[in-house]
Amino acid sequence: MENHNIDIERPSFWQQIFLQSKVNGAPYHGDLLTGQHWNWPKDSYLKRQLRHVRSYRPADERSVSSYDLRLE
């Protein structure tokens, strides 16, 4: 069993995260960031591979579901 030396004076990693959060009064400037419009990639490698794999499925498995439409 390993013995870990714990420094009581120094806050842990998670304590530091919580101390730096907005709800604990730390400064937060995320509201001032400019918004950006972003679109999903249209013809990515993974989407091309998905179309390729789907083209080799048997005809009875090719029924289109709402989930399949979102991936196109």
Cβ neighbours for 41, distance < 8 A, ≥ 6 positions apart? 47
Task: Give the span between the Cα atoms of 69 and 72, in whole angstroms.
Answer: 5
For the cut 60, the answer to whether the pLDDT of residue 68 exceeds it is: no
Q: What is the pLDDT of residues 16-64, one digit of tens each?
A: 888 888 888 888 887 888 888 889 889 999 999 999 999 988 776 656 5
Q: 3-state SS of the chain: helix, strand, coil percent to 5?
A: 45, 0, 55
Q: Is the pTM of this model over 0.75?
A: no
Task: Give the span between the Cα atoms of 27 and 37, in whole angstroms.
Answer: 26
Every domain of the chain and the residues it spans:
40-72
For the cut 60, the answer to whether the pLDDT of residue 71 exceeds it is: no
